[in-house]
Amino acid sequence: MSPVSLELTNAHACFGGAQRFYQHASREIGLPMKFSVYLPPQALQGATVPALVYLAGLTCNEETFMTKAGAQRLAAGLGLALVAPDTSPRGAGVPGEADSWDFGVGAGFYLDATQAPWQPHWRMESYLTRELLPLLGQQLPIDLERVGIFGHSMGGHGALTLALRHPGLFKSLSAFAPIAAPTQCPWGRKAFAGYLGSDEAQWRNHDASALMAAQPTAPYPGGILIDQGLADKFLTDKQLLPEAFEAACARVRQPLTLRRQAGYDHGYYFIQSFIDDHLRHHAAALG
């Protein structure tokens, strides 16, 4: 198999490192995919560095985190690469896709769909775990033995579920306002019905709370960090349900720091406020 060709679409100097944006033809998605990478100064000087994969939420893309979260300054100091893939396939021509970026219609949800019309291209789990990560290790100075994962909202769901579904792949884990129990909330039930069909037993395979409750032992003995804003309207609307994940962690004695932050909502001002704590959480685990 010939090497995948990465097209560098944009690049900027940033805190002594490099902020880059790439696209490539994806074999798993069957469409072009985009992602962004921040390489810290250490990587530009020849070191192979640990990396954090950030999964964004609905309406976001590969640029959102890099332009809004304010993570590069500390990542440069810690020697961490940051990777942010796009959230979803684009341009598949599925009816309603362009008009209805809504859960169950368009948003990737970080799983492999089994139902028409989504099944051919909506393969975000395979894309991330089987294609993008190996590609990063092959073509960029990233140490695949030291990779952590985190995310926000739909991406927080993705981070938690992919970490639990792929033991050992990600060495550290955190989330901002994740959809923590999607089988129990309207967003998740709509998405799962569209992507996975009517068998709710299959849905549980992509529900972070159900996956954690089924663990025989704590999968992250060094701890998981979650921040949740208490002024988040989606928390009030029972779309996020962090208490379900908290109960599942307690059941299997998984150390969890769930910080309920008064006054903070669901947006990137919230993420900016606590991003440094998450970077340090991962850096401590990745070394």
Task: Please identify every residue annotated as catalytic.
Answer: 153, 232, 266
Q: Is 197 left (phi over 0), alpha (psi -120 to 50) or beta?
A: left
Is 99 in contact with 118 (CB distance < 8 Å)? Answer: no
